[in-house]
Amino acid sequence: MAEFVTISQAGDVPPGEGRVVEANGKEIALFNVNGIFHAIDNTCAHRGGPLGEGALNGTSVICPWHSWSYDITSGECLTNSEICLEKYEVTVEGEEVKIAV
């Protein structure tokens, strides 16, 4: 069974924004879409750009380095359909945002 670890306080990621957080030594991109949190790997498959710093457009994020985009609900790369980043299950308990690792 997956273990959930706290990665952020809910109020630290306003709606429509993302953050780079860390869990078990891995960088995770955490996003808030209208109060629903999504988490995928932070590292862009192109050249390693930080997706948690990218611009959010609905449920897709645009890499800040060379504009590849990803579906943050699935981890799928929308620029190269052969790529899919890891997506993490997210739960919110009170103010604590947790992901399954």
Residues that bind ligand FES (CB under 6 A): 44, 46-49, 63, 65-68
Integer CA distances (angstroms), 35 to 17, 46, 56, 85, 91, in order: 10, 29, 14, 22, 12
Distance of closest approach, residue 66 Cβ to ligand FES, in angstroms: 3
Q: Taking CA 9 as the corner, what is the angle to CA 6 and CA 11, rounded to the nearest 5 degrees?
A: 160
Distance of closest approach, residue 29 Cβ to ligand FES, in angstroms: 12
Tokens describing residue 80: 């190269």
Distance of closest approach, residue 55 Cβ to ligand FES, in angstroms: 12
The letter for the amino acid at 53 is: E
7 versus 44: smaller Cβ distance to ligand FES:
44
4 versus 70: smaller Cβ distance to ligand FES:
70
6 versus 67: smaller Cβ distance to ligand FES:
67
* Residues 96/6, Cβ–Cβ less than 8 Å: yes
